[in-house]
Structure 1
Amino acid sequence: MADVLITEFMHEPTAQALIADFGAHWDPELWCKRAELLDRVADARAIVVRNATQVDVELLDAAPKLRLVARMGVGLDNIDVAACRARGIEVCPAVGANAVSVAEYVIATAMILLRGRAYYATPEVIAGTWDRPRYGSGLELAGRTMGIVGFGSIGQVVGARARGMEMKVIAHDAMLPEDAPAWKDAARVDLDTLIEKADVVTLHCPLLPETVDLIDAARIARMKPGAVLINSARGGIVNEAACAAALRSGHLGGAALDTLKVEPIDATARELFAGLDNLILTPHVAGVTRDSNRRIAEVAAANVRRVLGAPAG
C-alpha cells in the first residue's frame, strides 16, 4: 500500500513527481470508491484531496498512520478538522493558490450579467437579427459598488480587481479584526448594509451552521432592484428557491452560482432554475483553471514533503 494517496484530479506533473518520490497512489475517482479508499488509507501517511473526498471519522479510524490531509483548495467542509486535530493529523489547505482564478470568475460573471443578454447574441446575429437597443441596454462595472461577503485571501483579491475596474468596494467579515490592514482598501460594513448598497454581491465565506441560507428570501428582497448575486463559495449559503424566484420576478438582475446545495445538481434545483436566462451555472470551477491547478497541486505537494520528509531511497 502507498504512503501517499491522491484521491481526486491533480496537476499531472506534480502528481507524477509524488508517485516517483513516494510511490504515491493516484486515482482521480478514488473519492467515490469508498470501500477501496478505506482499504488503501490504512497504510497512508498523507492523503491529498479536493472537496469531494469525505475525510470523516470513518476514514480517520481506518487510517492509523495518517499524519497529513493536504487540501487542494481552501474550503474544509468535507474534512472533520476537529477529529483530525484530536488525532494529531495536520490539515493543510492551499490558501490563496486559487484566489486569482476565483477573482477573475467573479469579475467576468459580473460583467456578463450587468451587460444583460449582450454576450448571448451570437445565434440572433448569425440569423440576421441586429437588435442593438435590446443588447445595448446593459450596465458598466465602473462607478458601481461591489459588496464582498467574506474578506479573506480570496475576497481581498476580488476587491483589488474590482477597484481596478473603478468600482467602490464594501465588505463584511465578522472574523477579520477592525484594525486589519485589508480594511484600508474597502469600506467595512455590516451584512445588511452591504446587501442594501451593493450592485454586485459576491460570497467568499465558509459554509458553517451560521451561514446556511445566509442569503435568504428576506435578504434578497433587500438587495437593489437589478443587482447581481455571485456565489463561488459554497452551496447552501444561498437559498436557491429564493434566488430563483427573484430571478424570475426580475428583482435580481442576474446570478452566477458556481456552487449548489447538492452537487451535481439534483431534480429540485433543476426544476427551480429551468428556463432562467439571467442565470449562469457552473460546476464548482470558479477556482479551477490550469494555472490554479498547478499552484494548488504544488502547495499540496510541498506540504507532503514537509510533513513526511525526504522520500526514502
Structure 2
Amino acid sequence: MGHVGPCQVCNFGDGGVNMPKVIMTSLAVPLEAEAADILGSAGIEFEARNLTTEHELIAGATDADALIVVAEPISSEVLRALPRLQVVTRFGIGLDVVDIAAASAAGVWVSNVPDANYREVAVHTIALALNLSRRITTLDRAMHENGSAHLSLAFGTRRPDDQVFGLLGVGRIGRRVATMARAIGFQVKAFDPALTEESALEQGIDLVTFDELIATSDILSLHVPLTSVTANIIGEAEIARMPRGSILVNVSRGGLVDETALAAAIESGQIAGAGLDAFVGDSGPLDATNRLRSLERVILTPHSAHFSAESFAETKMKALHDVRSVLQGRPPTYAVNSPLAVNR
C-alpha cells in the first residue's frame, strides 16, 4: 500500500460502520468546524487527509462516500478504486481535475461551487489591468529604489475612454468584469459563442468574432475554462495579432496561454505587460527558469484571485451542503453532470 500523508480526523456521531463518510483530500483547507455543524448534525463522518496523487487517493480513500477536492486528480482509475463513492465536490469553480464523463458512467455526482467567488475574481482582474495600464508597480518600484521616478516611466499610459477592454468568455466573472470596466470608461468587447447579441446589448458589450477581439483589445482578459479546445488559445500567432503595447490578463487557467510566446512578446515590446494569476500546470511553485519571473512588466499572483474571507466561508458552506444533500438522497445543488446510477 502506498504512503498516505498525515491525517486530521474528525468523527461525528457514534462512529458506527454504517455512517457515511466525507473525505477532504487536502489539508490546506480547514473545514473541521463547519463540517461538525453541517455534517455532524446529520450523522455524517468527516475526515481531512493529505491525498495529493492518484496513487494516494486509490490507497487512502476507499472508505469515502463523498470527496471534497481542491486540486487532487479524480481520474477514471481513482473512480474505479472507490466502490462507495457517490459524489465528488470541487472546492471552487474549475473542474479540470475531475474526469466528469467517467464519474457519470460510474454513477457518481460531480459538483462545484460556481458562484461564491466570482466577485473577487472580477475585482482581481480589474486590479491587475489597472495596475499595468497605469504602470503603478513600475512607478512604485522606482520610488522605493530611487526616491523619485522619471515621468517617462508613465509614457504610453492612456485613458480608459479610448481603450477596448476585451473579454474572452462572458460567464459570471466576465459579466462582472464587463460591468466594472464599463463603469471606469472602457469600451467592452467580447467573444463568447454562448452569448447572444440581445444579452450582450443588455450588458453594454460589443459582441465580436474571436479574430476581431484579438486584433482590437487594448486589454485582453481571459475567462474560459481549460479544455482541449481552449488549451493554448492565446499562442504565438494570437499574441502577434494583438495591438502592439496591449495588456494580457489571465485569472483563469495557465494552460490557456503559451507562456514562452508571452514572455518573448513582452521582451520585444509587442505586449506591454501581463497580469497572471494562473500558470501552466497550476500547481507548485513557478520554476526558477520561468522567464515570466524575471520580467518587470509581469505581475504575478499565486492563484489567489478567488480569495476573500467572505468567499472562503461561502465556498466551505456550499461544498459541505452539496455532499450532505447527496448522502441524504438528494441531488447536489450545483451538479455539473447527470450520473447514470447514483446509488450503486
**TM-score, structure 2 normalization:** 0.81
Output the CA distance in 2 between the equivalents of 1:37 and 1:56.
10
1:54 aligned to 2:76?
no
1:131 aligned to 2:149?
yes
Q: Which one of 8, 16, 25 corresponds to residue 47 of structure 2? A: 25
Q: Which amino acid aligns with 2:84?
A: K
Q: Is the 8 A contact 2:24 2:67 kept in 1?
A: yes
1:86 aligned to 2:86?
no
Residue number in structure 1 paired with 2:137:
119
Output the CA distance in 1 between the equivalents of 2:326 and 2:197.
34
Gap change, CA 1:303 and 1:193, over 3 Å in 2: same
Residue number in structure 2 paired with 1:208:
227
Q: Is the 8 A contact 1:156 1:182 kept in 2?
A: no
Q: State the Cα deviation string for residues 212-253 of structure 1 (Å, max 9, x = none).
A: 111011111111111110111112110111100010011101
Gap change, CA 1:128 and 1:77, over 3 Å in 2: closer
DSSP-derived class of the 1:147 partner = strand
Output the CA distance in 1 between the equivalents of 2:256 and 2:224.
9
Output the CA distance in 2 between the equivalents of 1:201 and 1:14.
39
Q: Is the 8 A contact 1:195 1:223 kept in 2?
A: yes
Residue number in structure 2 paired with 1:39:
59
Q: Which runs of 5+ in 1 are unaligned?
A: none
Residue number in structure 2 paired with 1:237:
256
Q: Which amino acid aligns with 2:152?
A: R
Q: How many positions carry a matched residue from both structures?
A: 304
Q: Which amino acid aligns with 1:141?
A: P
Output the CA distance in 1 between the equivalents of 2:166 and 2:306.
19
Q: Mark the structure with the bigger radius of gyration.
A: 2
Output the CA distance in 2 between the equivalents of 1:180 and 1:90.
34
**Structure 1 residue 265 displacement after superposition:** 4.4
Residue number in structure 1 paired with 2:306:
287
Output the CA distance in 1 between the equivalents of 2:242 and 2:164.
12
**Structure 1 residue 120 displacement after superposition:** 4.2
Q: Which amino acid aligns with 1:181?
A: S
Of 270-279 and 249-258, more deviation after overlay is shown by 270-279
**Structure 1 residue 34 displacement after superposition:** 5.0
DSSP-derived class of the 2:213 partner = helix
Q: Which amino acid aligns with 1:251?
A: Q
Q: Which runs of 5+ in 2 are unaligned?
A: 1-16, 330-344
**Structure 1 residue 109 displacement after superposition:** 0.2
Q: Is the 8 A contact 2:51 2:60 kept in 1?
A: no
Residue number in structure 1 paired with 2:237:
218
Q: Is the 8 A contact 1:171 1:194 kept in 2?
A: yes
Output the CA distance in 1 between the equivalents of 2:197 and 2:30.
38
Q: Is the 8 A contact 1:102 1:154 kept in 2?
A: yes
Gap change, CA 1:124 and 1:190, over 3 Å in 2: closer
Output the CA distance in 2 between the equivalents of 1:94 and 1:142.
35
**Structure 1 residue 287 displacement after superposition:** 1.5
DSSP-derived class of the 1:43 partner = coil
**Structure 1 residue 274 displacement after superposition:** 4.2
**Structure 1 residue 166 displacement after superposition:** 1.8
Output the CA distance in 2 between the equivalents of 1:229 and 1:122.
21
Residue number in structure 1 paired with 2:213:
194
